[in-house]
Structure formats: C-alpha cells, structure tokens
C-alpha cells in the first residue's frame, strides 16, 4: 500500500481511472471516511474496500452506507483480501466470511 494522501481526490483527472480503491480510515492529513464519500459521489462505479484496524460498528455502518463495497479489519487474511478484490472487480456481492 502506498502513501497517496492527495491522490484519491484525483481519481478521474488522470488518463486512466482506477478499477478499485483500497482505502484506510486513518491516513496522514485526511480522513478515509471523507475520501470515501468523495469517491462514492464522483465515481460511483469504482468499488472502495475499506482496510483498517478500526472495529467501531458506527464507522463500519457509516462506511457501508456511504458506498464502501466491503470493510476488512487489520490484520486481515491475504486470501480474504483476494476474494473481496475479485468479487468487487467482477461486480459480485461480497459477504464476509
């Protein structure tokens, strides 16, 4: 994962658009939940997977309401991440295991 604080806000400005976004809630200089709202509003066809150590049910509910495709808690199983990414890219519903 890269430290890309300003770039989530430029998703559609580059020549190529992102197929998927992995987004942490806590990032330097920005709040991932606010970035999620922006991405969901501006790019509703781009699935956003929240990856975070937070287990706050209110934050999880808010993220899902605001357009997150899935929420994975850290530490996460790399195989589960693979399953959720595959499901998101193939536009299938994902259910946490």
Backbone torsion region of residue 31, taken as left when φ is above 0, otherwise alpha when ψ lies between -120 and 50, otherwise beta: beta
Q: Are 20 and 89 in contact (CB under 8 A)?
A: yes
User: Sorting pLDDT into bands at 50, 70 and 90, what band is 5?
Assistant: very low
23-63 pLDDT, tens digit per residue, is 998 888 888 999 999 999 988 999 999 998 887 888 888 89
Share of the chain above pLDDT 70, in %: 78
Q: Are 39 and 69 in contact (CB under 8 A)?
A: no
Which of 89, 41, 35, 58 shows the shortest CA–CA distance to 50? 35
Residue 3 has pLDDT above 50, yes or no: no
Residue 73 has pLDDT above 60, yes or no: yes
* Adjacency order of strands within the sheet including 21-23: 21-23, 48-52, 70-73
Q: What pLDDT score was predicted for residue 15?
A: 57
In the CATH hierarchy, which fold is given to the domain comprising 18-89? Rossmann fold (3.40.50)
């Amino acid at each position: 994962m890269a430290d890309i604080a300003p770039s989530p806000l430029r998703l559609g400005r580059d020549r190529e658009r992102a197929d998927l976004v992995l987004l942490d809630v806590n990032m330097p200089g920005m709040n991932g939940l606010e970035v999620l709202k922006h991405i969901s509003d501006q790019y509703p066809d781009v699935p956003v997977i929240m990856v975070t150590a937070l287990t706050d049910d209110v934050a999880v509910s808010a993220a899902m309401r605001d357009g997150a495709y899935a929420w994975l808690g850290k530490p996460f199983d790399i195989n589960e991440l693979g399953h959720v990414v595959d499901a998101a890219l193939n536009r299938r519903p994902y259910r946490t295991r």
